[in-house]
Structure 1
């Protein structure tokens, strides 16, 4: 039996998550300490995760211990590590373009795990989205570092698999508890790696604290809760298309607040991405 069409409110609420992630670049460069990307990634998830855990006072039970360990690692810990490896070794445009392969990967995972066979239209939309992001953010002088490319694609695959597994297993607790578990596990997985590679942050200013609070509460706690909620309400492939909103928002913010250029080719890319996202929701 065909599932009922998705509500516009569910699509818009889910889209707020990648849109908030699109603000991460400007926050990281303008408000956070430099040269600690992995530690910043850990600190944006672990404190808010622990606060939510303390508030909810509920731990996983039975099989959900290892499921949360896997989901928190895929969606938060491993994903964030790979994301920042790609960001360090590639220009942002190349990293974003490689990461935009996620809708295609989610389509494959959903076909294998959820038996959701992708339509021809959704495949075309995913390819168009990848091309659109490339036009939007990549520059002619961009260098292609093999390790960075592998990290970006692996990061997209990691979170794509996590997205499909959430859809497959269905959370056994409230959305708040489910989000808290994954943020905490992801932060715990990432923190020792970050400290070993980068060391601690020695000086934290008031501006840095503001950046951490924003990323932790808005860009992580609220954003991931909306993302996990969207995975339940929408098809996994439809959620993955919404992730393409992140580079669109990042580009607009760069133009408005950082005086970055916005060329006709970028406008074409942005239009293609938005059309791809709309088509992806039609297949829901």
Structure 2
């Protein structure tokens, strides 16, 4: 899969008949990111989130650089550094801060506002006018994620809240700028993923050394966890993600990120004996409805109903 994507240069938007398949493929990226919480809590050493970010991003980026054998040049030197900082370095750091200072449900709900931020940035940078349809479904998505992950007494910490909103903001900016700049001639999504993962990992290295020191000794479960996060959660997923951003409507793609907290909750139920309530079930319905509806337009929905009738 990586080899096929790496050979492709800038590709046109997917034809209508293939959009569903491409959307489902792209959805596997945020779905894989939903495994991060389970893998981190069950297999990785505690107290080293920044080191974990480096080990997740940098080896994957270097492997892709070796595979594609292409380095950024010209304007793509600073673009790759900026996009890698937004999509990888800053995002990972802010997510870790939010996770440590807020209950997981609050942090996930704050980052779920990302599709709404993408709507605004897409209007400013891409000229895509926001529609009431997607704004409304963006609000439904936030509500759905909130019902899925919010539990018990809420606790708010100003720095944690700012980090959660900041994580949503940098991810939204990264998505829109990736769409705006596209790819240089002959560069496939594997090339772009390699540039950004390497840049983002390098940005995290000094932070990890300053605040956490050298990586701790790793046992076999930790090695397996890092391999999963690096290969599936970074190398493959970001290649697929950037391919989707390049060929699908940017706002529609942004809604797929709502899958991450949903998958994390399902895995907690399956493997960590976490209970699911009827309210959470309603949250799943709302979140998945928002994801599906964001891929369509009101006209497309009307056509579906007319065909059914």
Q: CA deviation at 1:55?
A: 2.3
> Normalization by structure 2: what TM-score?
0.89
1:35-50 pair list within 5 angstroms = 35-50=47-62
Partner of 2:231: 217
Q: What is the root-mean-square deviation in Å for CA atoms of aligned residues? A: 1.4
Gaps of 5+ in 2: 1-12, 301-309
Determine which of 142, 163, 176 is the counterpart of 1:164. Answer: 176
Partner of 2:284: 270
Q: In structure 2, the residue corresponding to 1:182 is in which secondary structure? A: helix
Partner of 1:196: 210
Q: In structure 1, the residue corresponding to 2:295 is in which secondary structure? A: helix
Q: In structure 1, the residue corresponding to 2:152 is in which secondary structure? A: coil
Contact preservation (8 Å) 2:115, 2:251: yes
Alignment partner of 1:79 is 2:98: no
The structure number with the bigger radius of gyration is 2
Partner of 1:185: 199
1:112-261 pair list within 5 angstroms = 112-172=124-184, 173-261=187-275
CA distance in 2 between counterparts of 1:39 and 1:105 reads: 29
Partner of 1:63: 75
Q: In structure 1, the residue corresponding to 2:155 is in which secondary structure? A: coil
CA distance in 1 between counterparts of 2:110 and 2:30 reads: 16
Contact preservation (8 Å) 2:102, 2:160: yes
CA distance in 2 between counterparts of 1:228 and 1:55 reads: 17
CA distance in 1 between counterparts of 2:26 and 2:14 reads: 18
Partner of 2:9: none
Q: In structure 2, the residue corresponding to 1:282 is in which secondary structure? A: coil
CA distance in 1 between counterparts of 2:74 and 2:46 reads: 41
Q: CA deviation at 1:194?
A: 1.2
> Normalization by structure 1: what TM-score?
0.97
Gaps of 5+ in 1: none
CA distance in 2 between counterparts of 1:65 and 1:43 reads: 22
CA distance in 2 between counterparts of 1:24 and 1:202 reads: 19
Q: CA deviation at 1:31?
A: 0.9
Q: What per-residue deviation string (whole Å, max 9, x for no partner) do you get for residues 80-139 of structure 1?
A: 110101011111111000000000000000000000011111000000000110111011
CA distance in 2 between counterparts of 1:237 and 1:39 reads: 32
Q: In structure 2, the residue corresponding to 1:203 is in which secondary structure? A: coil
Contact preservation (8 Å) 2:94, 2:166: yes
Contact preservation (8 Å) 2:45, 2:216: no
CA distance in 2 between counterparts of 1:232 and 1:113 reads: 15
Partner of 1:29: 41
CA distance in 2 between counterparts of 1:202 and 1:24 reads: 19
Q: What per-residue deviation string (whole Å, max 9, x for no partner) do you get for residues 161-208 of structure 1?
A: 010011111111122111100000000001110111111223211111
Contact preservation (8 Å) 2:144, 2:286: yes
Q: CA deviation at 1:240?
A: 0.8
